[in-house]
Structure 1
Amino acid sequence: MEKTEWYLEYEIQYNRPGLLGDISSLLGMLSINIISINGVENSRRGMLLLSRTEEQIIRLKSIMETMDTIRVTKLRKPKLRDKLAVRHGRYIQSDVDDRKTFRFVRDELGLLVDFMAELYKKEGHKLIGIRGMPRVGKTESVVAASVCANKRWLFVSSTLLKQTIRKELIKGEYSTDNLYIIDGVVSARQANEQHWELIREIMQLSAVKVIEHPDMFVQQTEYKLSDFDYIIELRSNENEEITYEPVENNQFGQGDGFSMFDF
């Protein structure tokens, strides 16, 4: 019988010596294997488990609910956030009101890259927006995640090294295995109709598209924020406000105007 993965998370009510050993022994008696384990949040610990039957998991939950030293907070088939929490020892923060918005700070770049790489690996169309202030690491994270996901990245519009505004793709660049990166500021402020025709073509591909500055992108296009599958916010620290004032006060296309905002 094929084994199934489960995610167990519990909060420690009373941290006494040997607690983890007791839980490990309980899992062993129920013939449930531990794949990985890590602290995920303050006094919480997360485990990825492997079980032959759901009955084993039901028995595990009923026994753990009688233990006064812990409180089971999650016991379910693992989601992507669960796996990353065990891998990195922290949970990805999501917006309370908008569940498709995920928040990171610069100290969590490793977690962000891992998260985006897992999104890139999913087949089919994915539209991902990423917000953040200048030089916080947005473009570098997008590219690093594409390397982790074994995806070829293509800048459709960008100012990473120099101003890039593509008007066409060459043979081989139209591929569902490619990752298309669009700078919403560059496209919205500088591009011509040929560039927008290319973007519309790319949007029809069953591939991953990453839009930097999605708010500026939708202001100048027919696309809406509701069209995005994921919105990622990257800050230098938790209290930083993401604002487009540097863009609005800048004269784009003159001198080093592009280099002020991002990269």
Structure 2
Amino acid sequence: MEEQKEWYLEYEIHRNRPGLMGDITSLFGMLGINILTINGVDDTRRGMLLRTENSTQIDQLHSFVKSMDNINVTKLREPKLSDRLAVRHGRYLERDADDKKTFRFVRDEIGLLVDFMAELYKKEGHKLIGIRGLPRVGKTESVVAASVCANKRWVFISSTLLKQTVRSQLAEDEFTDDHVFIIDGIVSTRRSTERHWELLRRVMRMPVTKVVEHPDIFVQNTEYQLDDFDYIIELRNHDKEEITYDMLEDGFSSFNEFN
């Protein structure tokens, strides 16, 4: 017997007639396919996480659903992270059309954002994540909440969450991959010391998760580049909000507003 395998099925509904969902679930039962999760992923599409015993079942399913007049299969594949999140939250992640590593969220979607970051944190090895957003939009809180969800500890290398933090050393037990290292790109580049930068560079070399708030300011003042980031997250209060750093021109005191 083949090992059990998970699949993601997404289909578009042309005409949502009474009994359509019953017909689809009956088909799964006939083929011996288990439905793990089901949810709408927008107004006209549904997504499902499925589990099969063998590949023949999924081939049979594909043949059957292609012949159904009221639906059109848009995805049938091994589930990606974006598929799992779409089923959990009822919508897909919004990606930048030109830069596929940039993901956009608004404040009302913080639950989805936290879930997304938590899944990234759970992956082993080096990850460099940048997060953009205006003051008090919820950047740091989301980063910390995702750490809790991923069962990771968090370490502020630099921050203004409670008071301005610029670390110059860590305890040896903090240099482990069960930590998420959080860096404020403004504080680290404008109010740091050489010892802080020695620590920061050591952390950047480690095969662990690093999250940099204000990555654009960070790369302007360091040897790092935006190409070094694996993911860029943008968090806004609403869709039309523009993320700018104009307030920084007003003086150094503006830094205390960032968190």
1:30-51 CA-to-partner distances (Å, cap 9, x unmatched) read 1111000000111100000001
Deviations 1:14-66 (A, max 9, x none): 01111111000111111111000000111100000001122211211111111
Matched with 2:215 is: 214
Consecutive unaligned residues of structure 2, counting only runs of 5 or more, are none
TM-score normalised per structure 2: 0.97
Q: What's the offset of the Cα at 1:67?
A: 1.0
Listed one character per residue, the Cα deviations across residues 87-124 of structure 1 (whole Å, up to 9, x for unaligned) are: 11111111111111111110000000000000000011
Instruction: Quote the offset at 1:70 in angstroms.
Output: 0.5
- 2: distance between equivalents of 1:62 and 1:135? 51
- Tell me by how many angstroms 1:180 deviates: 0.4
Structure 2 SS opposite 1:259: helix
1:166 Cα shift?
0.7
Is contact 1:101-1:232 (8 Å) kept? yes
Distance between the aligned counterparts of 2:232 and 2:17, measured in 1? 41
Work out whether residues 128 and 211 of structure 1, in 8 Å CA contact, stay in contact via their aligned partners in 2. Answer: yes
Q: Return 5+ residue gaps in structure 1 as ranges.
A: none
Is the aligned partner of 1:25 residue 2:22?
no
What is the aligned partner in structure 2 of residue 235 from structure 1?
Answer: 236
- Aligned mates of 1:54, 1:235 — CA distance in 2: 43
Q: Aligned residue for 2:192?
A: 191
Letter aligned with residue 248 of structure 1: E
Alignment partner of 1:154 is 2:155: yes
Please state how far the C-alpha of 1:171 moved relative to its aligned partner: 2.3
Q: CA RMSD in A?
A: 1.0
Q: Which has the higher helix share?
A: 2
Match of 1:142? 143
What's the secondary structure of 1:172's corresponding residue?
Answer: helix
CA distance in structure 2 between the aligned counterparts of 1:98 and 1:158, rounded to whole angstroms: 27
1:259 aligns with 2:256: yes
Deviations 1:209-243 (A, max 9, x none): 00000000000000011111111010111111111
TM-score using structure 1 length: 0.96
1:65 and 2:66 matched:
yes
Q: Which runs of 4+ in 1 moved over 6 A?
A: none
Secondary structure of the 2:63 match is helix
Q: 1:125: which partner in 2?
A: 126
Structure 1 Cα separation of the partners of residues 174 and 15 of structure 2: 57
Matches within 5 A, 1:163-178: 163-178=164-179
Partner of 2:227: 226
The separation in 1 between residues aligned to 2:70 and 2:23, in whole angstroms, is: 11
Q: What secondary structure does 1:109 align onto?
A: helix
Preserved contact between residue 163 and residue 258 of structure 1 (Cα < 8 Å): no
